[in-house]
Amino acid sequence: MTVTWNVLIVDDEGQLCKLIARKLQKAHLRTFVAQNGQEALNIISKTNIDAVILDYMLPDMTGIDVLKVIKKEKDIPVIMLTSYGNVESAVLAMKLGATDYLNKPIELEELKNIVVKVCQQPRGDDGVRVSTQRFVSQSEKMNKVMELVQRVKDTEASILILGESGVGKTALAKWIHENSVRKDKPFVAINCAAIPETLLESELFGFRKGSFTGATSSQKGKFLAADGGTIFLDEIGEISLSMQVKLLHVIEEKKIMQLGSNEYHSLDVRIIAATNKSLKKLVQEQKFREDLYYRLNLMEVEIPPLRERKEDIIPLVYHQIEKLNKKYKKQLAIHPKVVQQLSSHLWPGNIRELLNTIERMHILKRIGTIDLADLEDSYTNKQLIHVDHTPTIHNEQKAISNNLSQVLEEVEEQMIKKALNETNDNQTKAAEKLGIARHTLIYKMKKMGIKP
């Protein structure tokens, strides 16, 4: 296999550079190494670099300084490496355009996967990198989900998306369609739970004028509207057994007959369905047809809740702020302390709740930077504010006297102890609960003197 991409590693730790380079070279990447900022900028000016791995602390300047120059002069993805507990630098890096960030000590396999992923991002005719990733994520759990849908997006396979309410099932369905061979055809979505049973059939299959009282004109229905493209059936677990029989017939025959018509119409539709219920359990309870379940479930994708992939919160926050600035024609920033608070919350409503909270703050803030006062004013669930004020700070004087990094370290220590306690000191489960790698958890425990 020939070398495809050039990767620049910028770190003053020579041994770490060698380890990273060796790992990337095994993946057939060409590597360049710089041990200070100026050397890195010189290489970038003379070489066509596809991705940069950039440490935050360098001998002559900070990684942030280097990142600013890179983003100003060239469109190169930058993966930042930050020291343990340095949340502020990670937040600032994402704000300035870093593609991703990892805390040291890094996991080489994870780093390699991220580098390959950003290098694979296509470029336009002018050489500028074109983003096709509209589903915002960077956690290992979501990386696995995206790897799966990447493999099946261009097939005809029906897909069943599972997950709690608000995790992003509709967004993933849209991503699959917009990155498939059907992207130039319609994407039609319908929430099966939002349509009364008596109207769902006509909504899906359409009707002819005069087919029932009130049918003053013909309607072709969602399936025919999606012909050639994708139909997304959300909350599929809510449809009745009689409706399931009709849906199964459409899927098997690839034909549809509108209400009031005697003619069949051929269909070419890719079906993506979603539910927050266990269809397997509904099948066992004879509330969902087993044959329909297997028709819809040729490929099953489960999106984990946001509390299990907290690494996705920071990029989601900045993506939403950027989106809202365009929507409301503002230029608001968001304070790192607010981002830290948002990252600490469990978000029972998942991404939907997070995005709604950000938009509420954005609407109420007219100019400047969204700060903790804005968070407290706009968020109705005081549990989130409680995370900021009292979970690890034992008295007000201590909170005032410590700087941000010290406070965050205390919060992190308390969270680690809580996770270990809840998992009976099972480090693997505790790491999963915290959304970090097991070796990272062990490193943090040793640093903090936490004994298993």
**Pick from 317, 311, 398, 405: nearest CA to 362:** 317
Q: Where do the CATH 3.40.50.2300 domains begin and end in the chain?
A: 6-131
Q: Strand pairing of 270-275 and 333-334?
A: unpaired
DSSP 300-313: EEEPPPGGG-GGGH
Give the pLDDT mean for 76-92: 76
Q: Where do the CATH 1.10.8.60 domains begin and end in the chain?
A: 308-448
CATH number among 2.40.33.10, 3.40.50.300, 3.20.20.70, 3.40.50.11900, domain 141-302:
3.40.50.300
Range picked from 135-149, 246-260, 279-293, 407-421 for highest mean pLDDT: 279-293
Give the pLDDT mean for 133-142: 74
Binned at pLDDT 50, 70 and 90, residue 389 comes out as: very low
- Distance, CA of 215 to chain centre: 43
Binned at pLDDT 50, 70 and 90, residue 390 comes out as: very low
Residue that wins the pLDDT comparison between 321 and 396:
321
Span 342-356, pLDDT tens digits: 998 889 999 999 999
Binned at pLDDT 50, 70 and 90, residue 380 comes out as: low
Contacts 24+ apart (CB under 8 A), 164-167: 164/276, 164/305, 164/350, 165/276, 165/349, 165/350, 165/352, 166/306, 166/349, 166/350, 166/351, 166/352, 166/353, 167/303, 167/304, 167/305, 167/306, 167/350, 167/351
- Do the beta carbons of residue 431 and residue 452 sit within 8 Å? no
- Note the pLDDT of residue 133: 44
Residue 182 identity: R
CATH number among 3.40.50.700, 3.40.50.2300, 3.30.2310.20, 3.40.50.720, domain 6-131:
3.40.50.2300
CA distance 216 to 230: 28
What is the Cα Rg of the chain in Å? 25
CA distance 92 to 361: 20
Q: 9-23, 121-135, 294-308, 398-412: lowest mean pLDDT where?
A: 121-135
CA distances for 248 relative to 33, 292, 293, angstroms? 58, 6, 9
Is the predicted pLDDT of residue 366 greater than 50, yes or no?
Answer: yes
- Note the pLDDT of residue 121: 67
Which tokens sit at 175?
């991503």
User: Which residues are registered as beta bridge partners of 51?
Assistant: 7
- Note the pLDDT of residue 385: 45
Cβ of 55: how many Cβ atoms within 10 Å?
Answer: 23
The proportion of the chain whose per-residue pLDDT surpasses 70, expressed as a percent, equals: 87
Q: Strand, helix or coil at 7?
A: strand
For 94, what's the count of Cα atoms within 13 Å in the CB-facing half-sphere? 28
Give the pLDDT mean for 252-259: 90
Q: 64-68, 256-260, 429-433: lowest mean pLDDT where?
A: 429-433
Is the predicted pLDDT of residue 23 greater than 80, yes or no?
Answer: yes
User: pTM, whole model, 2 decimals?
Assistant: 0.59
Residue tagged 């130039």 (tokens): 184
Q: Strand, helix or coil at 128?
A: coil
Residue that wins the pLDDT comparison between 141 and 429:
141
Is the predicted pLDDT of residue 197 greater than 60, yes or no?
Answer: yes
Which stretches of 311-437 are DSSP H helices? 313-328, 336-344, 350-364, 372-378, 382-389, 396-401, 404-422, 427-434
Q: Where do the CATH 3.40.50.300 domains begin and end in the chain?
A: 141-302
Residue 174 identity: K
CA distance 329 to 351: 23
Is the predicted pLDDT of residue 65 greater than 80, yes or no?
Answer: yes
User: Which residues are registered as beta bridge partners of 302?
Assistant: 162
Give the pLDDT mean for 412-418: 82
Which tokens sit at 217?
């004109």
CATH number among 2.170.8.10, 3.60.40.10, 3.40.50.2020, 1.10.8.60, domain 308-448:
1.10.8.60
Give the mean pLDDT of the chain: 84
Binned at pLDDT 50, 70 and 90, residue 226 comes out as: very high
Binned at pLDDT 50, 70 and 90, residue 399 comes out as: very low
